[in-house]
Amino acid sequence: MHGPAPVRSARAPQVVCPPGGRRRTVEGVSSPSSHSPSGKPANEPLTDATAAIPVISDDATGAIVVAENPKLTWLDRAQRVVASDKAPTWSLDLRAIQDGVEEKRARNVVDLSMRIAEALLSTGASAAEVTASVLRITTVYGLKSVHVDVTFTSIDVCHYRGTEAPIYAMRTVRVRSADYERLARLQRLVNEIEDERGLSVAAARRRFERIAAMPRRYRRSVVTAATAVLGTAVCVLLDGSTIEVLIALANAVIVDRTQLWLARRKLPAFFAQMVGGMVPTIGAVALIYARASVPGLEDISPSAVVATGIVVLLAGLSVVGAAQDAIDGYYLTATARSAEVVVLTLGIVVGVMVVLTISTTIGAPMSLAAYSRLTGNFAMQVLASAVIAGMFAISSYAGPRTALLSVLTGALGWSSYALMIAGGFGVAAASGVAALVVGAVAQLLGRRWQVPSLALSTAGIVPLLPGLSVYRGLYHLATAGAEQGYGQAFDSLGTAMSIGLALAAGVSLGAYLGRATQPNRGAIRDRARDRALHRSRADAKE
């Protein structure tokens, strides 16, 4: 057996291969001096697959020349056939980072990014958006190796500095309240930090403090009025009469002010939702008694009042946010958001069930029906859906521009839903397609008009929420003791669950498609978005 030829160091190097050997150049080796004659690092033991492969380095080009020994065993050859010569497409960044940023400045940058991240998460941003924002800010200010971990209740940021002590900070998210106007201003601040490269950390901190200290966009009474109009539009969509619309308006006001009163007294959200579910149901039972003695109320449907109240209560749940975090790969945060949605929905269910059960027990004339009617006027359906979306945006403190664009997404979502129903699709499938359209359009409009796309997509699917299916399931569950009645109840509740999942999946897929059509907005922004969404990608096993 021939040994490896010596390394020649000359301007025109010569490579000597053993007789019968085959010359092959292997790329990607950092330095020939760090390798032994066998091609392996000096401190790394040889393996069966490489022991018989002498390597000769070329000093002039830096390439590594492999002279393959013709006397390899069949096992060695088999290993070489199936073995890959490429590193995995994912990587562990273990480089020693020396970014030249002094510790005091680095701490100020981490503190600024943490405060902005907490405000973003508190006002409704997704976990991926919060992560990308932190990475963009820290990159602009020269921090090269920053690791971000976002959960439902906390944010962790670590600046890895190689052999030096890392800079680590953690903040808890104390409050979660949708405030889309503040969210839009925070997003613009992050863009300004990236676009104005000369903006100092202190100046960015002052801008953030002004945003954090600014008052709400609307008075609380305006939010109550928007909620009342939302309830009115829902009742119109359900083909309610004039009296039913007025009752739905009054119920929406009572529910909103009652929940405000309970929140100020720090009652847990589950019980606040339970009380919210009880209010319209009590109103419906009272209306049943009134129909027997008050002329003109004979044709009033109490069921429409209850269904309207359920839709209004469901509108405030973060279904879109939970689905978005799941699609983006933030499963812990998505699980927590989903648990919150389930708990608050159960609060509504318990509230309605308590009133219906008590009414049945005391012998109240339960003439509630499994209401399932929509207005037959398509133009009225689209108009009501647009108003619902716009009023929901205002009740979430969205600015005028966001509210107007929400009107558009609401109308577009319902039009898509009606088109799918007319084409023979089921309710769940039609809801999913409509949500997909809303999610994609929300991304495009959000980028074009500089408003939160999350606000547009959330508002756009509110008219599609399964309030009727939830009400029908609860009605059958409370009033039917027979086995057939329970079957109808679970069927309706299962339909409601499938509609909710279809809405969540559709709006998330639409958001992905909308992001895919976005042009490059800058190297820093694109890299941050790729890192934030890296865990959501399918595993190619490369």
pLDDT in tens, 436-458: 999 999 999 998 998 999 999 99
124-139 pLDDT, tens per residue?
Answer: 999 999 999 999 999 9
User: Does residue 123 sit in the same domain as residue 39?
Assistant: no
pLDDT at 11: 45
pLDDT at 252: 94
pLDDT confidence band for 36 (50 / 70 / 90): very low
Number of domains composing the chain: 3
Among the residue ranges 1-5, 30-34, 230-234, 344-348, the one predicted with the least confidence is: 30-34
Find, among 174, 190, 176, 185, the residue nearest to 113 by Cα.
190
pLDDT at 496: 85
Q: What is the DSSP letter of 535?
A: G
Best-predicted range by mean pLDDT (2-16, 90-104, 254-268) = 254-268
pLDDT at 181 over 90: yes
User: Does residue 410 sit in the same domain as residue 335?
Assistant: yes
CA distance 248 to 233: 9
The three-class DSSP label of residue 172 is strand
Tell me how far the alpha carbon of residue 313 is from its chain's centroid. Answer: 21
What are the tokens at 405? Answer: 């664009």
User: Does residue 279 sit in the same domain as residue 201?
Assistant: no
pLDDT at 517 over 90: no
User: Does residue 204 sit in the same domain as residue 307?
Assistant: no
Is 53 within a domain? yes
pLDDT at 200 over 70: yes
Find, among 273, 269, 344, the residue nearest to 309 by Cα.
273
Last residue of a domain, one of 182, 213, 244: 213
User: Does residue 208 sit in the same domain as residue 300?
Assistant: no
Is 47 within a domain? yes
User: Does residue 313 sit in the same domain as residue 336?
Assistant: yes
Is 91 within a domain? no
Last residue of a domain, one of 30, 47, 82: 82
Quick one: 354 exposed, middle or buried, by C-beta within 10 A (0-12, 13-18, 19+)? middle
The pTM score is 0.79
User: Does residue 188 sit in the same domain as residue 246?
Assistant: no
Last residue of a domain, one of 163, 197, 213: 213
User: Does residue 62 sit in the same domain as residue 141?
Assistant: no
Look up the domain containing 41 and give its range.
Answer: 22-82
Q: What is the mean pLDDT of the chain?
A: 82
263-304 pLDDT, tens per residue?
Answer: 999 999 999 999 999 999 898 888 888 887 777 777 777 878
User: Does residue 63 sit in the same domain as residue 113?
Assistant: no
Is 2 within a domain? no
Choice between 533 and 223, residue whose per-residue pLDDT is larger: 223
User: Does residue 515 sit in the same domain as residue 372?
Assistant: yes
Q: Residues 305, 232: contact at Cβ < 8 Å?
A: no
pLDDT at 489 over 90: no
pLDDT at 69: 52
User: Does residue 197 sit in the same domain as residue 230?
Assistant: no
What are the tokens at 18? Answer: 């053993």
pLDDT at 541: 57
User: Does residue 372 sit in the same domain as residue 315?
Assistant: yes
